[in-house]
Amino acid sequence: MDPQGVDTALKGVLGGKAAKALGDKLDLHTIGDLLRHYPRRYAKRGELTDLDELEVDENVTVLAEVERVNGRTIDRRGSKRMHLLEVTVTDGRGRLTLTFFNQSWRERELGVGTRALFAGKVTDFRGKRQLAHPDYVKLHGDDASAEQVVDDYAGKLIPIYPAGGGLQSWTIASCVKLALEAVGDPPDPIPSDVRASRALLDLRQAFVAIHRPEEWDDVNAGRRRFRFEEAFVLQTELALRRLAARSLPAKPRVPKPDGLLAAFDSRLPFQLTEGQVSIGEELLHDLAQTHPMQRLLQGEVGSGKTVIAVRAMLAVVDAGGQAVILAPTEVLAQQHHRSITALLGPLAERGLLGGSDQGTRVALLTGSQGTPARRRALLDAASADAGIVVGTHALLEDKVQFADLGLVVVDEQHRFGVEQRAALTQKAGDTPPHVLVMTATPIPRTVAMTVFGDLEISTLTELPRGRSTIQTNVVPAAEKPGWLDRTWERVREEVSNGRQIYIVCPRIGESAADEDASSPPAEDSGRPQAVAVLDVAPMLEEGPLQGLRVEALHGRLAPDLKDQVMRRFAAGEIDVLVATTVIEVGVDVPNASTMIVMDADWFGVSQLHQLRGRVGRGQYPGLCLLVTNAAAGTPSRVRLDAVASTVDGFELSRLDLEQRREGDVLGADQSGRRSSLRMLSMIRDESLIREAREDASAIAEADSTLSHHPTLASAVRSLLDDSQAEFLAKS
């Protein structure tokens, strides 16, 4: 047979039956699909699989040795007698029981000392792990079918494939063997000069190395090549997007030297930090270009991103344009509107008595507004009376129009997708607006380079001077009930010193049906329900916090009521706010000194870091207490201890990433379908991603249509076709 390409259907190579099984059970249809179904692990003849590591419900293929065989006939009441064969296999330490019913002949086949690969699902029977009716293939069998394949690996590593749908690892291995023999020297998406400079195997070598390794070095070299390839193809797409954005036209926005921006700067009540100044200059530079700015501003909680955004918006207004800032929640939109209006003072009162001539107006547009307010805001936006428009998703609706939209600021990006950015972009007419995306959830650079790979990145590292520290403690309520009493005493002390307190609960309560979207999901099994706002608030008000002004805030309150509660808290009319994570992002009340998170183990690391960022924002030291029933040493508790041990958001986001699976990081669906990023790890492969990004950018610059790199071009296309690449669209 002539050498086949990777696109050849498996039918022609394996025969119909095997090809159909691979297609139906594992969604593998071409030679390329099969060769990219990489082994999950390798077993080494002579080295048995560690049986202690197996978990119940896992589908496993293990290399083990038969230690004991026990066949007997058992009576079952009301039914026929049956033969039960129990075979105990071992790795030298751990044990696993294999059970077979009415297959007494296997007793002869599985004599003591037999070594074989056994495959099946691990179940638990009276505290012992077992495989019921496993499939197996002996390592020195007499019959020459699938065992042949295993025997081929004499002295080598035996690949163990992710099996499924009844297809065993060794069956897949024999199909892979045929595919490898059939495939010629397939065209490689990684150009040869890149391979040479990065010392990477070519595609054929890598297939051989990963499927039929002689030794571990082969596996490692194969894996490295495929990881690089994944990063490289993705980075090529991202580099092309950056290029395309750079070739779009945009209106340069250059502020008048003595306009609003200058007036704003001169009335700022504080001095900008060095980072705020230098990023501000970066933004002014970007805004003056003839192609749209695409920038991500990441900065620690409380680092002062809003002021940076406001200054950029004023620059655009000075240049005759308009700017919008899009907030993820109603609470945050309202707060932005209040604080931007306050920072601008008379500059935000154009047309009003006492307002500044050179001023502008700040409009607010949210979904819950009454008709008159909404109509007014729409008019202000369309007529350019409002230079700055603050809003929520409502800003994305078709009815919303602008006279001359020059800048879109997206606050707390992680809740907005690219489609939404695109919807706003379209409102700017023919020339796309400049875009600034802000996030306080710091992400490690590699993830930024991947998930936000089409954006330039600015990072704000320092906090404004005079910012207080936040002390975080874990309160183990179950182990030390006294500490909880002490917690409420502490609340009373803070309040008597004039401070304010947040108490966050995982649930709203009463009805389980409509929790806040940002709340952790209801638990499925075993675990008791987390405490709820609607239970905790009255309990505290009538109990340990009697006499204090306690109020509840959550997503089920009517929007105007929510705003009212938030305003009253900001004005100091409420001492203790019992809330869900509606206050998670952005809420800024400098007088609040203490954050108590109830059932803190229900929240993720980043979420806790965000929550804690709500305190210590003014001159008062912040205190964060993480109340939990999780026992010391459990993973939940370890997570909380980590949060308590550092306030470095980057460090914590790394930890968060390590605890989640890659797919979750990328927002991709890992529901067992094939993923385009199968080997790459955002954490482990940091330097490799950086190299891939460099190489990909160079190729995109030199060949922006990829016409000289057809194989790479088709790899990029199939990445985009792949439903798993959804994270590209959603970022």
* Contact partners, residue 368, CB within 8 Å, separation at least 6: 330, 558, 559, 560
Q: How far is the CB of 312 from ligand ADP (least distance, A)?
A: 13
Where do the DSSP E strands lie in 621-696?
622-628
DSSP code of 522?
Answer: P
Q: How far is the CB of 473 from ligand ADP (least distance, A)?
A: 23
DSSP code of 167?
Answer: B
Determine if 328 is a binding residue for Mg ion (CB under 5 A): no
**CB nearer Mg ion, residue 275 or residue 586:** 586
Choice from 259, 320, 464, 559 touching ligand ADP (CB under 6 A): 464
The single residue listed with the structure tokens 């998670």 is 584
**CB nearer Mg ion, residue 13 or residue 307:** 307
Total of residues contacting Mg ion (CB under 5 A): 1
Selected range binding ligand ADP among 117-125, 203-211, 301-309, 487-495, rule: CB under 6 A: 301-309
Would you call 473 helix, strand, or coil by DSSP? strand
Choice from 432, 586, 616, 649 touching Mg ion (CB under 5 A): 586
3-state secondary structure 42-64: EEECCECCCHHHCCCCCEEEEEE
Distances (CA, A) of 553 to 369, 548, 627: 19, 16, 19
What does the alpha-carbon distance between residue 307 and residue 276 come to, in Å, rounded to a whole number?
8
How many CB atoms neighbour CB 285 within 10 A? 10
Q: How far is the CB of 266 from ligand ADP (least distance, A)?
A: 15
**CB nearer ligand ADP, residue 271 or residue 645:** 271
C-alpha torsion 216→220→223→224, nearest 10: -170
Work out the angle at residue 463's Cα, subtended by the Cα atoms of residues 462 and 466, and round it to the nearest 5 degrees. Answer: 130
Q: How far is the CB of 441 from Mg ion (least distance, A)?
A: 11
What does the alpha-carbon distance between residue 514 and residue 252 come to, in Å, rounded to a whole number?
46
Selected range binding Mg ion among 97-105, 190-198, 488-496, 578-586, rule: CB under 5 A: 578-586
User: What is the number of the residue whose Cβ is closest to ligand ADP?
Assistant: 304
Residue 302 contact among ligand ADP, Mg ion, none, beta carbon within 5 to 8 Å by kind: ligand ADP
**CB nearer Mg ion, residue 339 or residue 636:** 339
Selected range binding ligand ADP among 255-263, 305-313, 514-522, 707-715, rule: CB under 6 A: 305-313
**CB nearer ligand ADP, residue 302 or residue 506:** 302
Q: Which uninterrupted H or E stretch holds 124?
A: strand 115-125
Residue 110 contact among Mg ion, ligand ADP, none, beta carbon within 5 to 8 Å by kind: none
Residue 304 contact among Mg ion, ligand ADP, none, beta carbon within 5 to 8 Å by kind: ligand ADP
CA atoms within 13 A on the CB side of 64: 30
Q: How far is the CB of 651 from ligand ADP (least distance, A)?
A: 17
Determine if 588 is a binding residue for ligand ADP (CB under 6 A): yes
Choice from 116, 139, 206, 301 touching ligand ADP (CB under 6 A): 301
Distances (CA, A) of 112 to 70, 100, 116, 240, 346: 10, 16, 11, 61, 90
**CB nearer Mg ion, residue 610 or residue 676:** 610
**CB nearer ligand ADP, residue 84 or residue 272:** 272
CB 326 within 8 A of CB 416: yes
What does the alpha-carbon distance between residue 268 and residue 159 come to, in Å, rounded to a whole number?
65
Would you call 656 helix, strand, or coil by DSSP? helix
Longest dimension (CA), the chain: 100
* Contact partners, residue 652, CB within 8 Å, separation at least 6: 605, 606, 609, 642, 643, 646
Q: How far is the CB of 500 from ligand ADP (least distance, A)?
A: 15
Choice from 303, 329, 334, 581 touching ligand ADP (CB under 6 A): 303
Instruction: Give the residues across from 364 on adjacent strands.
Output: 390
Work out the angle at residue 567's Cα, subtended by the Cα atoms of residues 563 and 571, and round it to the nearest 5 degrees. Answer: 175
Determine if 304 is a binding residue for Mg ion (CB under 5 A): no
Choice from 180, 208, 262, 272 touching ligand ADP (CB under 6 A): 272
Total of residues contacting ligand ADP (CB under 6 A): 19
Q: Which residues in the 611-650 window bind ligand ADP by CB under 6 A?
A: 617
**CB nearer ligand ADP, residue 273 or residue 366:** 273
Determine if 273 is a binding residue for ligand ADP (CB under 6 A): yes
**CB nearer Mg ion, residue 306 or residue 519:** 306
> What is the phi/psi pair of residue 550, to 5°?
-105, 130
Enter the tokens of residue 533: 């706002």
> What is the phi/psi pair of residue 589, to 5°?
-130, 95
Q: Which residues in the 400-459 window bind ligand ADP by CB under 6 A?
A: 440
Selected range binding ligand ADP among 164-172, 248-256, 271-279, 473-481, rule: CB under 6 A: 271-279
Residues near ligand ADP, by CB under 6 A: 270-273, 276, 299, 301-307, 440, 464, 586, 588, 590, 617
Residues of this chain that interact with Mg ion (CB under 5 A) are: 586
